[in-house]
Amino acid sequence: MTAVPHAANLTRIPSAGAAEVVVIGGGIMGLSVAYHLAQGGLTNVTVVDRSYLCGGASGRNGGGVRAQWSSETNVKLMQESIRMCRAFARKMRIHVWFRQGGYLFLVRSEERRRALEASVELQRSHGLGTRMLTPKEALAVVPELDVNGVVAASYNGDDGVVFPWPFVWGFAQAAQKLGVSVRTHTEVVGFSTEGSRVSGVVLRKRDTAGRPIAGSEEHLGARIVVNAAGAWSPLIAKQLGVALPNHPHRHEICSTEPLKPWLRPLVADLSDGLYFSQSMRGEIVGGIGLDPVPEGLQQESSIPFLTRYAQSLVRAVPRLGAVKVLRQWAGCYDITPDANPIVGEVDEVENFLQLSGFMGHGFMMAPVVGKRFADQLRTGTPEPLFADWKLRRFKEGKLLKESMIIG
């Protein structure tokens, strides 16, 4: 169904009433916005998702949470997000297994070393305890590493890992307790507009197998619509004639048989995008980027990924060559041309706000970004840290830079 151009065209579609804010996307970013809106007193909020909670990237990632970045904005945001993650279990009354074993970044070229040094200098200028390490010093953090070919490393012990599913559920449950409506298996198939302003969404229910339910369409009025659908965001925006430059890119992860605890930090190799950590149950959970991959919203697993991941993992830790892989899965990164998100208003449609393009790190940024985005919505006061993330930067050629992307 295409975008509905005017509210008058909706007379034959049953009305579900109206919401102050409709959030499209029940991943952790959308749920964080909804929760923080309700916490601030704006409870007439509806979150809709075409699948089940954790069905998208929020339930398919490695759970990493770090403040080691190369841009000031990301460093500042993640400092606050880590504090929020630390308090999350107690505040939301749900166990998320957040553990701060640190992130250990490896580089294998002089060019990468110089870039990493600049990032560490930036992080330290903002109060982080990140340290540059020699390959020998990296062995003191993870003695099982093979540092042959490693030129340098960086380490921050405050970075960590969280179990993704209860983190998502925690936001959903807390939001619902405050009055937010969370509607799963509900897709957006159109919009209503009044002039240049969005005024509502047309919803259609899907069954648990993902099939549309005929005759289930309904209209939900909205003063503000937030597009937080991750890799699906461009398809949502297209219905209103808004072209987003982000696109989905399949990324895969796998998990091994459980081993005795031996690995505290998450290890990431910036030379090829490898990352891996050890879960509370002992599995080695990790992934690596792979090109080429099928275009579009693909979430199937592949043998080429497993081959490349195994080669890189065994290069980093040779002893893991004998470990059995138990399961493998995939999710979609939400890729933008400059590896930075798209946040805020668009020029084409009023009150249609964007919150997407977070690559593979939207999960870790969701607590703080959701909070600050909600504050901006409630108060009308622009968030300075979002100023450079507007969609129009791509037309204006004001591209940003973030070099510490993994996976």
Q: What is the CATH number of the domain that holds 325?
A: 3.30.9.10
CATH number (domain holding residue 357): 3.50.50.60
How far is residue 300's CA from residue 5's CA, in Å, rounded to a whole number? 36
> For residue 354, what are the β-bridge partners?
227, 344
Whether residue 78 lies inside any domain: the answer is: no
Burial class for 17, CB neighbours closer than 10 Å (0-12, 13-18, 19+): exposed
Residue 80 domain-assigned? no
Domain range enclosing 24: 7-59+166-246+338-396
Cβ-count burial of 259 within 10 angstroms (0-12 exposed, 13-18 middle, 19+ buried)? middle
Q: How many domains does the chain have?
A: 2
Instruction: Say what the pLDDT of residue 6 is.
Output: 34
pLDDT for 336 equals 96
Instruction: Name 273's Cβ contacts closer than 8 Å, sequence gap at least 6.
Output: 288, 289, 405, 406, 407
Residue 132 lies in a domain: yes
Q: Do 174 and 204 reside in the same domain of the chain?
A: yes
Domain end among 308, 333, 358: 333
Count other C-beta atoms under 10 Å from residue 35's C-beta: 27
Share of the chain above pLDDT 90, in %: 91
The average pLDDT across 42-68 equals: 96
Q: Per residue in 84-127, pLDDT tens? A: 999 999 999 999 999 999 999 999 999 999 999 999 999 999 99
242 and 261: one domain? no
SS3 (DSSP) at 164: helix
Render 70-125 in DSSP notation, one character per residue: SSHHHHHHHHHHHHHHHHHHHHHT-----B---EEEEE-SHHHHHHHHHHHHHHHH
Whether pLDDT at 305 is above 60: yes
User: Does the reported pTM lie above 0.85?
Assistant: yes
Q: What is the pLDDT of residues 355-365, one digit of tens each?
A: 999 998 999 99
> Nearest-CA neighbor of 13 among 267, 191, 143?
191
Higher pLDDT, 292 or 224: 224
The answer on 242 and 172 residing in a single domain is: yes
Last residue in a domain, options 284, 314, 333: 333
**Token code pair at residue 139:** 């062995």
Side-chain-facing half-sphere of 176: CA atoms under 13 Å: 12
Does residue 356 lie in a domain region?
yes
pLDDT at 7: 37
Tell me which of 333, 368, 386 is where a domain ends: 333
231 & 177 share domain: yes
Residue 291 pLDDT grade (very low, low, confident, very high; cuts 50, 70, 90): confident
Over 90: is that where the pLDDT of 174 sits? Answer: yes
Is-contact 252 302, C-beta < 8 A? yes
Q: From CA 230, how far away is CA 247, in angstroms rounded? A: 9
> How far is residue 407's CA from residue 275's CA, in Å, rounded to a whole number?
7
Q: Does one domain contain both 26 and 131?
A: no
Is residue 159 predicted with pLDDT exceeding 50? yes
